[in-house]
Structure 1
Amino acid sequence: MKLIPCQACVAMRNNVGGSVSRPILTPTKRNSLLLTATTHQSIRHQAQLLKAVLKIVVLFSLLIGSLNVFVFAAFMVATFNFLTAFFASAILFFYNRSANLRLASWLTCLAVIFNVAVFIHLADGRNYSILWVMIIPPIVFFLLGKQIGAWLTAGVFAYSIALMAYQLQQPRQETQGLGALLNIIEVCTALWFLFRFYEGSRQAAYRELESLSATDKLTGLANRSKLDNLLLDVHQKRRDAEISSATVVICDIDHFKRINDEFGHLEGDRVLQALARQLKAEVGDQGVVGRWGGEEFMFIFSERDVASTVQFCEHLRTTIQNHSPSSKRALTLSFGIAQLHPQHSIEHALLCADRALYRAKQDGRNCVRCAERDV
C-alpha cells in the first residue's frame, strides 16, 4: 500500500528550527532552462559546422588546384581553386574576429554556390563536373536552416536541370577520363567528410543535452528527475535479485534558512555549491549523490546494507562538521536512511527515509537516523 505523509507531519518537519525548503523548479521553469540550453547548444553546433565547412573548402581547393596545375595543366581553373581557398580562409578569419555567425554562414554558402557554378562553366560541364552541386544542399541546410536551405537548394537544382537541358540540345562525343574519375572521388570524399562531421557533432550535442536534462543547474549534481530514474533502476535490480541490498539516504542542511537570512541567498547558493563538491568527492564511485530539492540531498547506494550506510553517513557528518564548506558559519547535516526492499514500493522507502530524517531533526540535528523497520 502506498503511504502518504500527513500534512501535519510535513508542517511539523518544516517548522523544526524554522528550516524552510527552497522552492523546487516547476516543470515550466525546467523546460525553459532546457530550451535556453538547447538554443545555446544549437548555436555552438552551427559554429562548429561553419568552421568545419570552411576548412574542408580550403583543403579541397588547394588539393584540386594542385592537381589542375601539375596533372591537367588547367591553369585558369587552378587559379580559381586557389582564389576559393583564399576567400574561404578570409571568411574563417572574419568569423574568428567578429563572431558574426549569421553573416559568416551566408558568406560561406554564397561563396560555395558561386564557386561551384563558376567551376562547372569553366569545365564546360565535362567530366561529371555537375556532380559538385551535390555538396551544396548539406552545406546550406546545415548552416542556414531548413527554410532558407530548401529555397537555395531548389534554386541550385533548377540551375543544374537547365544546364543539363541546354547540353542535351548540343550533343557531343567525349571520352570520360581521369578528370571525371577524380571529380567523382572528390565529391564523394567531400560529402563523406561533411556528413561524418555533422553526425559526430549531432551526437555530441545530444549527449550534452541529455546530460543537462539530468543535472541540477546550481550544484552540478544529479537532479530530481535523474534520481527518480536511478531509484527505479536500483529498485528493479533488487526485485530481480541482481543486487543483494540497496539503501537510500536523504540528507538535509541544518538551519539553512539562517544562512539565507543572515548572509543572503547568494551566499546560500555558494554554500550549496561547495557542499555539493564535497559530497561528490566523498561519495566517489561508491554510489550516487544528487540534489533532491532545496537544501536536501539524496544518496543512492547499491550493494550496501544499512550498517555500512550508517557508518558512511557518520563519517560524512563529522567531516562536514569539522571542515565546513561555508566560511561564514559552521555547517552540520542530518541524515535519514532507509532500505530499498524488493517487496515495498520506492515511495515507501522514501517516506521511511523522510521520517528518519524528521527524527534526526527532533533529536537535535547533526545526527544519523535509520527507518525504524531497518534498525
Structure 2
Amino acid sequence: MNKNNSMSRFLTNNNRFKKDNPNYSRVYLLNAALIVLSIVCLFFAVLNFLENDIPTVVILDLFIMISSIITIVYFHKTDNIRITSILTTVLLSLLMAVYFYVIQNRNFGLFWFSIYPPFTYLIFGRKKGRIYTLTFGSIILTYVILCYKSWEPAVFDYQSLINIIAAAICLSLLIVFYENSRKAAEDAIILKNKELEIMSITDRLTGLYNRHKLDIALNEFLSKSDNCNNIFSIIIADIDYFKSFNDAYGHLYGDKVLVDLASIIKATAGDKNIVGRWGGEEFLIICPGLNNEGVKELALKMLDNISNYKTKDNKKVSMSFGIASCQADETIDTLLQRADASLYCSKDKGRNMVDGKPICDS
C-alpha cells in the first residue's frame, strides 16, 4: 500500500496534480514515460555493451538515460508541463534518430517507431501530435528511402525478438493508458451528468425534490395509474403563520425551520413516498399505493411528529395538511385543487390539522 502511494505521489508530482486536474493524464504519462525511457536505455546500454561492438549506441543510451532523470527532476521542481513535454519528445526523437541511423535495418530496430505516434498524440493532443508525427516520420522515411539500398539483408536473432517484444510492450502500455484515460474521462462525464441531474431536481435549501421533479413524478404516476385503478394519493403541507414568523425572526431563522421541518417530513414519509418542496413554505408528498384513509393516517403521523418540534430557542411551529386521493378521470390540476381545498379547510378550521379534522365541513 505504501509502495502504491509512493508511486502515485511520484507520478502526480507529489499529488500536486489531482484527478480532477485537466492535466492529470499528461503529467502521469510524462512521469511514466521518463521512467520507462530511463530503464529501457539502461537495459539496452548494458545489452549493447556486452553483445555489440557499437559504442555509439551505448553512449547514446546512457546520455538519454541521464537526460531523462534530469528532466524528471526539473519537472518535479517546476511543474512545467509544456517544457517537459518538449524535452521528453526531443529525447525520444533523438534516441530513435541516432539509433535508426546506427542500427540501420538490423535487429528490427525500426519497429520502435510504432510507439512514436501514440505517444505524441497523447502528450500534445491531436493537432500538435500530428505535426510531431508527420515531421519526425518524414525524416525517418526519407532516411530509409535514401539508404535502404546499401543495407545488407537483416538476420532475425534474439536481439530482434527483444526489440519487437520491448516495443510491443511499450505500445501496449500506451494503449492501456489511453483506454484508462478514456474510461476515466467517460466516468467523470457520467458522474458530472448525474450531479447535474441531481441538482436539477433538488431543492437547494432543504435537499428535498424541487417543483420540477414533483411535476414529473405527478405526470408519471397519473399516466401509470390506469384511470386511478393503481391508487396513489398526495399530501400538501403548509407551515402555519410562516410569513409572520419570518418577519419576526428573520429569513435565516426561517430557513433553519424549513430545513428542520423538511427533515421531519422526509423521515416520517419514508423511502416509498416522494417528498419535495412545492414552493415557499409548502411541501408536497406523493404516496403510491395509499388510499384516502392511508394517506390521512400518514399525514396525522407527520402532524404528531411536528408537534414535538421546537426551534433552538424553544418556539413551537405547527403545520396544516391537505390530502387527496386519485379518482377516476383525474387530472393533475383537479387532484391538486382537491388537495388545496383540503388544506384550506384545515387553515379555516384553526390550522395545525389534517384535512380540517377533527372538524371539517367538506
User: TM-score, normalization: structure 1?
Assistant: 0.71
Which of 44, 69, 85 is equivalent to 1:112? 85
Q: Deviations over 1:90-148 (max 9, x none)?
A: 56xx6xxxxxxxxxxxx33553344234312222274344634435556666xxxxxxx
Asked if 1:314 is matched to 2:300, the reply is yes
Say if 1:252 and 1:334, in contact at 8 Å, map to a contact too. Answer: yes
Which of 335, 339, 350 is equivalent to 1:364? 350
What is the deviation of 1:249? 0.9
Corresponding residue for residue 323 of structure 2: 337
Separation of aligned partners in 2, 1:259 and 1:140 = 60
Q: Which moved more, 1:329-338 or 1:187-196?
A: 187-196
Corresponding residue for residue 245 of structure 2: 259
Separation of aligned partners in 2, 1:295 and 1:139 = 54
Q: 1:196/1:322 Cα in 2 relative to 1: closer, same or farther (>3 Å)?
A: same
Asked if 1:195 is matched to 2:179, the reply is no
Asked if 1:170 is matched to 2:154, the reply is no
Separation of aligned partners in 2, 1:114 and 1:194 = 23
Q: 1:348/1:270 Cα in 2 relative to 1: closer, same or farther (>3 Å)?
A: same
What are the within-5 Å matches in structure 2 for residues 247-326 of structure 1?
247-325=233-311
One-letter code aligned to 1:350: L
Asked if 1:156 is matched to 2:106, the reply is no
One-letter code aligned to 2:92: F
Say if 2:342 and 2:356, in contact at 8 Å, map to a contact too. Answer: yes
Say if 2:112 and 2:167, in contact at 8 Å, map to a contact too. Answer: yes
* Relative contact order higher in (CA < 8 Å, ≥ 6 apart): 1
Separation of aligned partners in 1, 2:227 and 2:167 = 62
Q: Deviations over 1:195-254 (max 9, x none)?
A: 11111111111111111111111111101101111111111221277x731011111000
What is the deviation of 1:186? 2.1
What is the deviation of 1:72? 6.2
Q: 1:230/1:56 Cα in 2 relative to 1: closer, same or farther (>3 Å)?
A: farther
Separation of aligned partners in 1, 2:123 and 2:135 = 22
* % identical aligned pairs: 25
What are the within-5 Å matches in structure 2 for residues 182-261 of structure 1?
182-239=169-226, 244-261=230-247
One-letter code aligned to 2:202: T
What is the deviation of 1:168? 1.9
Say if 1:247 and 1:309, in contact at 8 Å, map to a contact too. Answer: yes
Corresponding residue for residue 131 of structure 1: 115
In structure 2, the gaps of 5 or more residues are: 1-16, 47-60, 101-109, 155-159
What is the deviation of 1:343? 2.1
Which entry has the higher C-alpha Rg, 1 or 2?
Answer: 2
Q: 1:163/1:53 Cα in 2 relative to 1: closer, same or farther (>3 Å)?
A: closer
Pairs aligned (count): 303
One-letter code aligned to 1:191: Y
One-letter code aligned to 2:291: D
What is the deviation of 1:57? 3.9
What are the within-5 Å matches in structure 2 for residues 141-152 of structure 1?
none
One-letter code aligned to 1:188: I
Say if 1:57 and 1:88, in contact at 8 Å, map to a contact too. Answer: no
One-letter code aligned to 2:352: N
SS at match of 1:123: helix
Say if 2:35 and 2:68, in contact at 8 Å, map to a contact too. Answer: yes
- RMSD in angstroms over aligned alpha carbons? 3.0
Q: 1:60/1:276 Cα in 2 relative to 1: closer, same or farther (>3 Å)?
A: farther
One-letter code aligned to 2:195: E
Q: 1:210/1:300 Cα in 2 relative to 1: closer, same or farther (>3 Å)?
A: same
Corresponding residue for residue 122 of structure 1: 95
In structure 1, the gaps of 5 or more residues are: 1-43, 95-106, 142-152
What is the deviation of 1:304? 1.2
One-letter code aligned to 1:220: G
Q: 1:117/1:323 Cα in 2 relative to 1: closer, same or farther (>3 Å)?
A: same
Say if 1:338 and 1:352, in contact at 8 Å, map to a contact too. Answer: yes
What is the deviation of 1:169? 1.7
Say if 2:238 and 2:319, in contact at 8 Å, map to a contact too. Answer: yes
